[in-house]
Amino acid sequence: MKKKVTLVVPCYNEEEVLPLFYEEFCKVSRELQKFEMKVLLVDDGSKDKTLEIAKALSQNDSRIKYLSFSRNFGKEAAIYAGLKNADGDYVAIMDADLQDPPSLLPEMIHAVVDEGYDSAATRRVTRKGEPPIRSFFARRFYHLMNKISTTEIMDGARDYRLMTKQFKDAILQLSEYNRFSKGIFGWVGFQTKWIEFENVERQAGETKWSFWKLLLYSLEGIIGFSTVPLALVSVLGLIVCMIAFIFLIVILVKTLCFGDPVAGWPSMACIILLLGGIQLFCMGILGMYLSKTYLETKKRPIYICGETNILKGREENEEI
């Protein structure tokens, strides 16, 4: 029997690229005749015609399934839902915009099926076509992450990855609400083969990630995979205490030797402002960890399914 490979494709407002994606999928599946290729389109609450197109594609081609969220839950939720509902011996996560070249699939499948790796991941070695400021901050982020986290996160790693069922099940065991897939993939371990490629620009439509959204996402990564900022806050507190102690001795000696003329209120104001700032900054860091903990304890579902056609052939009451 043919082994089954399911592609999980998160889609948010991708009406322009979905037909192009389907074309590429057909092309690559002709190359991979030895496998039964499937696609699970996860519509992340799109506001355009993405869902209609997904439905039309799935009506014409039984290899395509879709699952649609009740609203936009974000790419991480879409990946989670896709992995949870994908069956098959191997599962791949792939963007809809063809920035994850489907032509790499044969190589990835070869690595997992023939070479015995548990997953085949991709990383782009160039960032051509990306705004330079975005590339700069992305590089800084990976550098920082690898310094402060024990989980290895590759620079330029994409979410585009093929994995075995065992790897997928391990990822699903991490059912946290604040998800950061790049960290989760590294955290679960197993043998991963890295496949490098040159950056490909989006085929149509626009990126869904603003600079602000990316910044928040990177904080998700830092808070989710490192507690070093909390330790740094304590160290900072200690350093400030030590400086204050030295100041105290200097002032004491000065007063004893030269008397105590009232002077220096501007420096006092600066010190108060500086300490106030440091305290607020540290409280902010604590607050971020606390807010993530708060969201986690609510145990809200990661996504809510609006409609899907994957129930067919499965138990009616099975949870999607």
Closest CA to 155 of 131, 174, 170, 135: 135
Q: Return the structure tokens found at 152.
A: 């290895």
- 134/202 with CB nearer Mg ion: 202
Indicate the residue whose CB is closest to Mg ion: 99
Rounded to 10 deg, the angle between the 18-31 and 50-60 helix axes is: 30
User: Tokens 């600079």 correspond to what residue?
Assistant: 211
- 63/208 with CB nearer ligand UDP: 208
Query: Taking the mean position of all CA atoms in its chain, how far away is CA 180?
Result: 4
Q: Which residues pair with 193 in a beta bridge?
A: 120
- 10/221 with CB nearer ligand UDP: 10
In the complex, the smallest distance separating the C-beta of residue 155 from ligand UDP, rounded to whole angstroms, is 15
126 contributes a contact to ligand UDP by CB under 6 A: no
Candidate ranges 54-62, 96-104, 255-263, 297-305; the one touching ligand UDP (CB under 6 A):
96-104
Instruction: Pick one of ligand UDP, Mg ion, none as the site partner of residue 49 (Cβ within 5 to 8 A by kind).
Output: none
Candidate ranges 144-152, 191-199, 204-212, 229-237; the one touching ligand UDP (CB under 6 A):
204-212
Instruction: Pick one of Mg ion, ligand UDP, none as the site partner of residue 29 (Cβ within 5 to 8 A by kind).
Output: none
Q: Which residues pair with 121 in a beta bridge?
A: 161, 194
Helix, coil or strand: residue 134: helix
Per CB under 5 A, contacts with Mg ion among 200-219 are 202
13 contributes a contact to Mg ion by CB under 5 A: no
| Number of residues in contact with Mg ion under rule CB under 5 A | 3
207 contributes a contact to ligand UDP by CB under 6 A: yes
In the complex, the smallest distance separating the C-beta of residue 209 from ligand UDP, rounded to whole angstroms, is 5
Q: Where are the alpha helices (DSSP H) in 61-131?
A: 75-85, 105-109
Measured in degrees and rounded to the nearest 5, phi and psi for residue 182 equal -60, -35
220 contributes a contact to ligand UDP by CB under 6 A: no
Q: Which residues pair with 4 in a beta bridge?
A: 36
Q: Which residues pair with 5 in a beta bridge?
A: 37, 90
Among 97, 163, 170, 181, binds ligand UDP (CB under 6 A): 97
Distance CA 200, CA 160 (A): 13
11 contributes a contact to ligand UDP by CB under 6 A: yes
- What is the chain's length? 320
Distance CA 147, CA 185 (A): 18
Query: Taking the mean position of all CA atoms in its chain, how far away is CA 27?
Result: 28
The DSSP annotation for 150-191 comes to SS---TTEEEEEEEEHHHHHHHHH---SS--HHHHHHHH---
15 contributes a contact to ligand UDP by CB under 6 A: no
In the complex, the smallest distance separating the C-beta of residue 177 from Mg ion, rounded to whole angstroms, is 24
99 contributes a contact to Mg ion by CB under 5 A: yes
122 contributes a contact to Mg ion by CB under 5 A: no
Interface contacts to Mg ion, rule CB under 5 A? 97, 99, 202
Interface contacts to ligand UDP, rule CB under 6 A? 10-12, 14, 44, 72, 74-75, 78, 95-97, 99, 202, 207-209
